[in-house]
């Protein structure tokens, strides 16, 4: 499996995904909001936020193994 790259990250911007990290953990149901290119090699960061929330968090792209796109229409969220 290839590493999570800038090109694949760009295709997920604005979509809800599960982020599978290289340490085996999963960040569940977040929306990727921005891609931050930081000076230096392999220092890119991805910004994500929970759905319908304003506060966002950044994570280095080198710690992401892969992203799984979610189909939000299948989820039923009750208020």
| pLDDT digit string, tens, across residues 48-77 | 999 888 899 999 998 999 999 987 666 655
DSSP H or E run through 9? helix 6-12
**Confidence band of 23 (pLDDT split at 50, 70, 90):** very high
40 located within any domain: yes
63 located within any domain: yes
Domain that holds residue 26: 6-73
47 located within any domain: yes
1 located within any domain: no
79 located within any domain: no
First to last CA, the chain: 39
**Confidence band of 41 (pLDDT split at 50, 70, 90):** confident
| Number of domains observed in the structure of the chain | 1
pTM as predicted: 0.81
**Per-residue pLDDT, 2:** 58
| pLDDT digit string, tens, across residues 2-18 | 567 888 889 999 999 99
Placement of tokens 């796109």 in the chain: 69
């Amino acid at each position: 499996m290839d590493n999570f790259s800038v090109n694949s990250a760009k295709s997920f911007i604005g979509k809800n995904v599960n982020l599978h990290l290289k340490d085996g953990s999963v960040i569940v149901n977040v929306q990727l909001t921005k891609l931050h290119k930081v000076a230096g090699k392999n220092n890119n960061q991805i910004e994500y936020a929970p759905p319908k929330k304003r506060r966002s968090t950044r994570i280095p792209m080198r710690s992401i193994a892969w992203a799984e796109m979610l189909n939000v229409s299948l989820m039923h969220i009750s208020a």
